[in-house]
Amino acid sequence: MKIIALVSGGPEENLPELKDYHNDEVTWVGIDKGAFYIRSSGLPLSHAFGDFDSITNDERAELKALLPNLSIESAEKDQTDTEIALDWALEQKIAKIQIFGATGGRIDHMLGNIQLLVKSTTAHAMSKIEIIDRQNRITLFRPGTYTIEKQIGWRYISFIPMSHEVNGITLEGFKYPLKNCHITIGSTLCISNELTHELGTFSFNEGILLMIRSRD
């Protein structure tokens, strides 16, 4: 197991084709209704988390039969189902965690899910976390230098500060390059950029930076 794919219960129309992300290294984990998105895609469901308040009693019984050790969370708790599942995934200390079904629908849920990406920036974090839907791939970065590769179909690349300030941001190989730039939260300076070469680099010295690869 090198990738854990978490599928939350957001609007199904926002999901990409989950089979496109499957291989022998992926473990599929359902979060509430997301467990049935995995099943309906014909993929192997390994674990499931949640209070399962969005599914029927028959569906809950089906999950219990499929996963005898299924843990059903209380509806009244201090963490969302997605955070509980993500914390479990981080404990597995694997290279990559992909989250599907985390966007669209209720904005409070979507923003909460995006903020969970901050867990990947802590000093002890060992996993890269990415939120993926039909139009977007979202990741967070702490200070450093990163190489980014052009991907067919994912034309736009945006950078959004997730801390009050991001200092020293430099973009090379982009249509709109930057050198040692300072941006603050609320800035739209780095929205809708594009790579001009097969490879580009971005770097920054301080802060937390959200990167979104998107397509129309």
Instruction: Work out whether the CA dihedral 27, 94, 90, 96 comes out positive or negative.
Output: negative
User: Would you state the pLDDT for residue 76?
Assistant: 63
Type of residue numbered 50:
G
The domains of the chain are located at 3-134, 141-214
Average pLDDT, the chain: 91
Q: How far apart are CA 6 and CA 8, in angstroms?
A: 6
DSSP 79: S
Give me 120's structure tokens: 């990947």
Q: Is the pLDDT of residue 26 over 80?
A: yes
Type of residue numbered 180:
N
3-134 matches 141-214 in fold: yes
List, in sequence order, the alpha helices (H) in the chain: 34-40, 57-66, 81-91, 107-115
Q: Considering only residues 203 and 105, tell me which one the structure prediction assigns the higher pLDDT.
A: 203
In the structure, how many helices (H) and strands (E) does the chain have? 4, 13
The predicted model gives 74-81 an average pLDDT of 75
Tell me the CATH number for domain 141-214.
Answer: 3.40.50.10240
**Which fold, 3-134?**
Rossmann fold (3.40.50)
Q: Among candidates 129, 96, 95, 126, which has minimal Cα distance to 115? A: 129
User: Would you state the pLDDT for residue 78?
Assistant: 74
Entry pTM: 0.91
Q: Among candidates 112, 116, 80, which has minimal Cα distance to 97? A: 116
- Under the banding of pLDDT at 50, 70 and 90, the label for residue 162 is very high
